[in-house]
Structure 1
């Protein structure tokens, strides 16, 4: 069920209305309202929320929640024409697997998308490589050579 479907049904019930009553108030068929509530129809235009707000005298907070739920419930997405090829590949992988994702996968995807703003704010800088240590003359490179040198120091 979409966020809008759930919130529409909750709003109707909270106002003590049957589907037929709300449909009549809004000027829609009861079957359309039912289809919206069960998610059989995609989210309506913003005009629907305006009519709902006027008919039920909803406050700004409830209206904003409905509009946000409407946005969250959009089913169609469009890629920008100049999107990189990798974006097309990811988009297609998501499209093919969307209905079978495990909730933990959804959580990981959301966490990854949240990184976008963090990455943009943090300047990208490479960690400098450590300079190679220069050996002094006579200093061995292996631990055993250093041990031998410590046991038998040269006496000049």
Structure 2
């Protein structure tokens, strides 16, 4: 299940709704809600997400959590052109093993990714330039 699937399922259960009831409230088929909760589909458009926010009167915190769940549930990613070859190798190897990695390896990789990354050199230079211009 994707993070969005988990979020949607918990939201529905928290509001004590069945899939058919949620689908009716939102104007969608029950099969679509089921596919979203199973992770076989992702929300197809912003309209669905806007209806979730409106119908369930989501707080700004809930909306932020929803946005994160949607972002983390992307099925496809495109690597930027300027990444080094190691990034391609890493993604390729991850893809080969993604369905067999134990929880400990996921946790280790997530911990590494949470470390602070220095800004790109070009970006750092442009910030210095803006600071210098402001001082003049």
> How does the TM-score come out when normalised to structure 2?
0.78
Q: Which runs of 5+ in 1 are unaligned?
A: 122-156
Radius of gyration: which is bigger? 1
Instruction: Measure the CA separation in 2 of the matches of 1:120 and 1:17.
Output: 46
Residue 106 in structure 1 maps to residue 106 in structure 2: yes
Aligned CA RMSD, in angstroms, stands at 1.7
> How does the TM-score come out when normalised to structure 1?
0.69
| Map of 2:54 onto structure 1 | 54
Bigger proportion of residues as helix:
2
Q: Which runs of 5+ in 2 are unaligned?
A: 120-136
Moved over 6 A (4+): none
- Is the contact between residue 49 and residue 67 of structure 1 (CA under 8 Å) also seen in structure 2? no
Instruction: Measure the CA separation in 1 of the matches of 2:14 and 2:107.
Output: 31
* C-alpha displacement of 1:94: 0.7
| Map of 1:76 onto structure 2 | 76
- Distance change in 2, residues 1:103/1:23 (3 Å): same
Measured against aligned partners, the alpha-carbon deviations of 1:66-112 in whole angstroms (never above 9, x if no partner) come to 12111111121110122211111111001111111111111121122
Q: Which has the higher contact order (CA 8 A, sep 6+)?
A: 2
